[in-house]
Structure 1
Amino acid sequence: MKKLSLGAFFLVLIFSPHSLEGRPQVCKPSGKIKGKKPPPGHCVEDDDSVCCINGKYYTTYKCSPPVSENTKAILNLRGFEKGGDGYLPSKCDNKYHSDDTPVVALSTGWYNEGRRCLNNITISANGQSVNAMVVDECDSSMGCDGDHDYLPPCANNVVDASKAVWKALGVPLEDWGELDIAWSDAKSCKSSGKIKGKKPPKDQCNQGNDSECCEQGKYYEIYKCSPKVSARTKAVLTINGFGKGADGGGPSECDGKYHSDDTPIVALSTGWFNKRNRCFKNIIIHGNGKSVTAMVVDQCDSTRGCDKEHDYQPPCPNNIVDASRAVWKALGVPKKDWGEMDIHWSDA
């Protein structure tokens, strides 16, 4: 066997794909800070928060472990409402958030200088998964001062979550506090395929509210997802009839009933309908300089269409809020302009 010289050995080490240079970078501490005793009236200890201990040294980090399709992390419980242990408005939008909505704060490295603000991440644990919106930073680089309510620096592998996240993961209330999880950036919504249109049988396909009937041989995109939900989710508002015999077709999916079009109700595209998880919940719709609160009662199916079950209408686009006439009235849109309008919406 031919021997390598010492110089050649180091060249092999440097350029080998298995050399240290090719390994994932490790997140190392950036320093330490010394704890200070919180002044009277500071440091809220809700959700088992731990206040800084005078004289104790705490490790700080400017980075977090690399993000992958299955990023390991520790899920902590946190309050995002005013007066909760989050203590200040969320960094992304300078607002407080209801703990009944799935929102999170990420360790400094994962927060990435705000680049994940108002984006969704998918959290998996306990055999369940939930999408949650990033609204704040769990600061790993500083702590134990007035700006951080005398709480220690956050660990560099933490997802601080509202109680809505813990509920969605099916964790018993007595076990809330700390849990091993995996998370990833929520995937963008791409088409899941196409279906071929069929000509509706005679007297089928209700064209009320200018509904479109399927065209023979035309291909229609289908989606199992919708764009991510944020505080300002862009969408297209359309008009739908929810009464019996109207262009909505069958009864509403949430309760198997028909509804009066004089009440502010909506159907959402499949991804936003979220397997009925938004049934009977309210959303706030903003358009035409006004806003209205409406209840979700049905799905605007983005996965199927052009069949009897869907009244021979095409699949719904994945960014639709299909609204009763009461919604259009509340937004102050002239009746002649009812039909389609750009809006944004959020969970109430």
Structure 2
Amino acid sequence: MTNFSKGAILLLLLILSAQSLEARLQSCKPSGTIRGKKPPPGQCNQENDSDCCKDGKLYTTYKCSPPVTGTTKAVLTLNSFEEGGDGGGPSECDNNYHSDNTPVVALSTGWYSGGSRCLNNITVSANGRSVTAMVVDECDSTMGCDEDHDYQPPCPNNIVDASKAVWKALGVPEDDWGELDITWSDAKSCKPSGKIKGKKPPKDQCNRENDSDCCEEGKYYDIYKCSPKVTAHTKAVLTINSFEKGGDGGGPSECDGKYHSDHIPIVALSTGWFNKMHRCFKNITIYGNGKSVNAMVVDECDSTKGCDADHDYQPPCDNNIVDGSKAVWEALGVPQKDRGLMDIHWTDA
């Protein structure tokens, strides 16, 4: 055997060893097994050809899932998130049921990550198409074969369990729904588009009503041309604004060039959500403090500019703001002393 051949074999062995090590590092090993129990009569919903546990069969459990990358390999399965569907109880993220006509998914335990992906979007790709879907539930890889899990086996550790809307968006014929090899990734976030440098406002030129911020000399503020994707549960921060003449909202509203009474439920939206006036005079539904209110969009909370006379010498708006009138806060039952900033979610009405 020549030195060249020996060297080639040695190189091949090193490559195979490195690949094997990488595979071991990226693998997710079982955490145990559970023994199946025969479901009581009528207690396992087999909609969408769901499996039911078999008496005495050992099922593998996992506490982990493969690493998430830009193209995470997974198996797409079909699930009903509606009341009475094979998904069992309400979704883990919000304790609600969801229409199968909206793109929603449950993720295997490792990817669900203790709820850290709850109500966030992922991008699912297959069949030459892609769809954005919201995470609303866990496909439990650690437990199963009991009443809480509809007497179905534990979920494998590589599952994206999706509503009918996801399968439709991917263009899969209904006869082929069930299991499909896919890739997925966390949906792209909205990143800053630049910065502006703050200028000290001229005397009495920044209205501090409702504890509004004024620009600080030399401070850099992020600006955004985009906002997070709008879903049925769009996360946002509710702020308070006066839309009346002389209020901290500055000039008249962008949608109609008019001022509006603070006693009606109206809002300004961050630039991305304002969408070049496409939401003008449309209603959104805001959820917070255990209540909800419908409010009309009349203005933009500018995320691209600020710190000038046109913007009342206030900083650019963050990209996730619903700036509400006093009437919005009152409808949500928030005491006046607590008004200012509140985590909410909203959707187009």
Normalising by structure 1, what TM-score?
A: 0.66
**One-letter code aligned to 1:98:** H
Mark the CA change 1:88 to 1:257 in structure 2 (over 3 Å): closer, same or farther.
Answer: farther
Q: Which residue of 1 aligns with 2:269?
A: 268
Determine the structure 1 residue equivalent to 2:317.
316
- Work out the CA distance in 2 between the residues paired with 1:324 and 1:127: 41
Taking the aligned partners of 1:57 and 1:271, their CA distance within structure 2 comes to 52
- The aligned residue for residue 281 of structure 1 is 284
Distance verdict in 2 for CA 1:15–1:194, change over 3 Å:
same
Going from structure 1 to structure 2, the CA distance change for 1:185 and 1:341 (only over 3 Å counts) comes to same
**C-alpha distance 285-257 of structure 1, shift in aligned 2 (>3 A):** farther
1:328 is matched with: 329
8 Å CA contact retained: 2:35, 2:58: yes
2: distance between equivalents of 1:87 and 1:11?
Answer: 53
- Where 1:155 maps in the other structure, the secondary structure is coil
Counterparts of residues 159-174 of structure 1 (less than 5 Å):
159-162=160-163, 169=169
Distance 1:240 1:192 in 2: 28
Instruction: Please report the RMSD computed on the Cα atoms of aligned residues, expressed in angstroms.
Output: 5.3
Kindly report which structure 2 residues correspond to 1:10-25, keeping only aligned pairs within 5 A, or say none: 18=18, 20-23=20-23, 24-25=25-26
CA offset digits 1:208-237 (Å, max 9, x no partner): 957778799875321334599998957351
List per-residue Cα deviations over 1:28-54 (Å, max 9, x = no partner): 6677777655332212234x1424275
Q: Counterparts in 2 of 1:1-348, with a 5 A limit?
A: 18=18, 20-23=20-23, 24-27=25-28, 37-46=38-47, 48-52=48-52, 54=54, 60-62=60-62, 63-91=64-92, 95-99=95-99, 103-112=104-113, 114=114, 116=116, 118=118, 120-125=120-125, 127-130=129-132, 132-133=134-135, 135-162=136-163, 169=169, 177-178=177-178, 180-186=181-187, 190-195=191-196, 219-223=220-224, 224-225=226-227, 235-241=237-243, 247=250, 249-252=252-255, 261-270=262-271, 280-286=283-289, 291-295=291-295, 297=297, 299-305=300-306, 314-330=315-331, 331=333, 333-334=335-336, 341-347=340-346
Indicate how the Cα distance of structure 1 residues 163 and 272 shifts in structure 2: closer, same or farther if over 3 A, else same: farther
Q: Which amino acid aligns with 2:317?
A: C
Aligned AA for 1:320? Answer: I
Residue by residue over 1:142-171, the C-alpha shift from the partner in whole angstroms, topping out at 9 and shown as x without a partner, is 43443421223323321123467668x575
SS at match of 2:295: strand
- In structure 2, C-alpha distance between the alignment counterparts of 1:262 and 1:42, rounded to whole Å: 52
User: Contact 2:301–2:323 at 8 Å: present in 1 too?
Assistant: yes
User: What is the rounded CA distance, in whole Å, between the counterparts of 2:88 and 2:17 in structure 1?
Assistant: 47
What letter matches 1:282 in structure 2?
T
- CA 181–19 in structure 1, closer or farther in 2 if over 3 Å, else same: closer
- Label 1:70 to 1:299 Cα distance change in 2 as closer, same or farther (>3 A): farther
> C-alpha offsets along residues 239-294 of structure 1, whole Å, 9 cap, x if unaligned?
14289x974644449xx9987643323233346668979963312133xxx84423
Work out the CA distance in 2 between the residues paired with 1:265 and 1:77.
40
Gaps of 5+ in 1: none
TM-score by length of 2: 0.66
Deviations 1:309-333 (A, max 9, x none): 9788642123432002311333454
State the number of aligned residues. 330
Is the CA contact 1:121–1:184 (under 8 Å) kept in the aligned structure 2? Answer: no
CA apart distance, 1:139:
2.4
Check whether the contact 2:93–2:119 (CA below 8 A) recurs between aligned residues. no
Cα distance in 2, alignment partners of residues 329 and 29 from structure 1? 51
Query: SS where residue 150 of structure 1 aligns?
Result: coil
Alpha-carbon distance in 2 for matches of 1:163, 1:277? 28
- Structure 2 vs 1, CA of residues 42 and 120 (structure 1 numbering), >3 Å: closer, same or farther? same
* Residues 288, 344 of structure 2: 8 Å contact kept: yes
Distance 2:325 2:283 in 1: 15
